[in-house]
Amino acid sequence: MITFGWFGPLMWAAVVVAVIAFASIVGPILFGAPWVPMPFHTARRMLQLADVRPGETVCDLGSGDGRVLIVAAREFGANGVGVEIEPLRAFISRLTLFVLGLRRRTRVIRANFLEVDLGDADVITLYLLPKAIRRLAPKLRAELKPGARVVTLTYHLPDWPPAVERDNIRVYRI
């Protein structure tokens, strides 16, 4: 006789995987943007246009796999802070930064960026949907220090004149 004793646990495992995948894809879309990593050369261009200096703090809101932090720390000598809402991506990016030996220069906060204080940031990078950018705009104006820069890719800050605009990237100065 054929038994299906394994079927129950297997089905539950499939359900758990499906729920995690759903939460990991749909959750970030509801909160700000899906995970669409920008190319490394675009991250480099954004940081160049923002004129990032060694020792400055670059904060990537919605940091995905941490690539903006990697470029900021390795190529610009900056300190990188990522804020990522999706736990698995936050974990993987921490692991990547550790393996690359960038742990002392970078960190990833697992949180909603609307709930993180931005007062220490010199440069904020944003690659998010328009709705999330609109939500962030008043927070950026309220919390960023004079001299800080906000760099956006593709979707930009409404009603805020950019200091630099090139290659679908805009830089705003506080």
* Min separation Cβ 2 and ligand SAM, Å: 43
Nearer to ligand SAM, 68 or 140 (CB): 68
Nearer to ligand SAM, 18 or 36 (CB): 36
Contacts of 39 (CB under 8 A, 6+ apart): none
Applying CB under 6 A, which residues contact ligand SAM? Answer: 28, 31-33, 35-38, 60, 62-64, 67-68, 83-86, 89, 112-114, 127-128, 132
Q: How many residues does the chain have?
A: 174
Contacts of 158 (CB under 8 A, 6+ apart): 130, 133, 134, 137
Distance CA 94, CA 28 (A): 18
Nearer to ligand SAM, 14 or 115 (CB): 115
Structure tokens at 20: 């995690």
* Min separation Cβ 47 and ligand SAM, Å: 12
* Min separation Cβ 1 and ligand SAM, Å: 48
* Min separation Cβ 124 and ligand SAM, Å: 11
Distance CA 65, CA 9 (A): 31
Nearer to ligand SAM, 11 or 168 (CB): 168
Closest by CA position to 64, among listed 44, 34, 41: 34
